[in-house]
Amino acid sequence: MAIHRRADRHLERAAAAVPPRSWRRFAAGYPDVAAAYDALRAACAQAGSLDAATTALVKLAASVGAHASRSVHAHAKKALRCGVPAADLRHVALTALPTIGLPAALDALDWIEESIAEEDERSGGA
């Protein structure tokens, strides 16, 4: 239970983070679609018992498998803000390697490393 409370506190901090510029532009141009997407995202998150950290890792794994660099960056940062250790993010890419192949896994590792560095810089190296 302590893990869930700790992850929930990290999720609250993550929710306070400024959304990416591309999302802000999208939401400004299509507010109804953005609101519907946010409602869907919230409903999916509340549909089960996964804590915030596990949810972040699931989303990271899906992004790695989709070879979606923007999503890998976003979900890696969210996972870090939920208290997931950087080593666990790397492990997601390594675990995916036999399924997605070496080149895609190497790309994912690069994107994860970039996200770790960006998040370290944003948080002052904490």
Q: 10 falls in which pLDDT band (50, 70, 90)?
A: very low
- Give residue 72's domain range: 2-122
What is the number of other CB atoms lying within 10 angstroms of the CB of residue 104? 17
Range with the poorest average pLDDT among 1-15, 29-43, 48-62, 76-90: 1-15
Token code pair at residue 94: 């390594």
- The confidence score (pLDDT) of residue 107 equals 98
DSSP 8-state symbol, 58: H
Task: Read off the CATH number of the domain in which 36 is found.
Answer: 1.20.1290.10
How many helices and strands in the chain, by DSSP H and E?
Answer: 7, 0
What is the separation of C-alpha 98 from the centre of its chain, rounded to a whole number of angstroms?
22
Q: Is 116 exposed, middle or buried (0-12, 13-18, 19+ CB in 10 A)?
A: middle
Domain count, the chain: 1
